[in-house]
Amino acid sequence: MNAACGPRQRVLVLLGPTASGKSALAVDLASCFDAEIVGADSRQIYRDMPIGTAAPTAQQRGAVVHHLVAFLDPRERYSAARYAQDATAAVAALSARGKRAIVVGGTGFYVRAFLGRVALAGSYDRAVRERLAREATLHDAAFLHAWLCAHDRARAAALDPHDTYRVLRALEVALAGPNSGRVAALPTLATLGMDAVQIALDLPISEIDARIERRVDAMLAAGFLDEADALAGDAVAADAVGYPQAIAYLRGWSSEAELRLGLVRATRRYARRQLTWLRGEEGVLWLAPDAVHAAAKDILGWA
């Protein structure tokens, strides 16, 4: 129904840390409520990385149509601004076909951009980028991350302090001036005249940790090392959680036991950063996974 002649349409945004069961629950919800899924994961967007990124399985993607999943070459760079435009276009197309949309993923900054809650640069400021490139040659990752923290504490908390590329991109947005190309008119959910209901999966941290251990074991059994080996070292996506540890093992820098421990630790740290980000976001409803179906009916009015 068009916003001009009736109630505003609503999109379900399903959030949560890695290993919380978002993908499987989203498929169940989409099957139940005649919806399609729009991914919001900065690593699941890449092709040829299904094991390490825990991307929706072929069976899940066969059951429900997924958008913005496994569509990008691992060597291609992507941005939150581009995501906001792509996700908005996907939701608009679904609405035009009378389909409901479930946006699901763990990349909080993508979701914030999609909702129109952050200023994004539609085009980069060359002077700012060149300055940051110089700073990166003079200072270590900890300094750059502390610099970002001084400007955008929430964004800094969501990033790995050693992920220099993303820290620099976040600094680029934080340092850009008011006339630097920040574009308020970038398409977002709000520009479609639609609202979002944000639901985060609420599980005990002990359960998340146990799920992460099981996931790591399943990844290794499924051929994660072969997947990491096939991913070229110059790929943008090669710094995704788990891949540096796998590559270190393949190069003989760690033992099998150290590999597993490193994968578990890195994934747990990532999950905690995601939780820190989510707890700082406004308007997020925390629910146990088994309460989400009822919430979709009661809050979104989905039948």
- Under-50 pLDDT residues of the chain: 1-6, 178-184
303: in domain: no
Give residue 22's identity as a one-letter amino acid code: K
The answer for 61, left when phi > 0, alpha when psi is -120 to 50, beta otherwise, is: alpha
Instruction: List helix spans (H) across 152-289.
Output: 153-158, 164-175, 205-222, 224-230, 243-250, 256-279
Model pLDDT, residue 181: 44
Do 161 and 217 reside in the same domain of the chain? no
**Residue 4 pLDDT:** 41
Q: Are 25 and 289 in contact (CB under 8 A)?
A: yes
Do 214 and 77 lie in a common domain? Answer: no
Indicate whether 146 and 192 sit together in one domain: no
Residue 86 in any domain: the answer is yes
Q: How far apart are the first and last CA of the chain?
A: 15
Task: Enter the tokens of residue 219.
Answer: 């990844």
Cβ distance 47 to 73 under 8 Å?
A: yes
pLDDT at 140: 85
Q: Per residue in 239-289, pLDDT tens?
A: 899 999 999 999 999 999 999 999 999 999 999 999 999 999 989 999 999
pLDDT attached to residue 124: 56
The one-letter code for the residue type at 124 is Y
| Contact yes or no for 284/14 (Cβ under 8 A) | no
Q: Is residue 18 domain-shared with residue 160, that is, in the same domain?
A: no
Residue 18 token pair: 């890695």
97's tokens: 């076909």
In a shared domain, residues 48 and 62: yes
Q: Which of 77, 119, 117, 111 is nearest to 91 (CA)?
A: 111
Tell me which residue has tokens 């270190």. 248
**CATH code, domain carrying 108:** 3.40.50.300
Domain count, the chain: 3
| pTM of structure | 0.81
- In one-letter notation, the amino acid at residue 20 is S
Q: In terms of domains, do 226 and 159 share one?
A: no
For 212, list phi and psi in degrees, rounded to 5. Answer: -65, -45
Q: What is the mean pLDDT of the chain?
A: 89
CA distance 157 to 155: 5
**Could you list the residue range(s) of the whole structural domain that residue 139 is in?**
126-175
Q: Are 63 and 31 in contact (CB under 8 A)?
A: yes
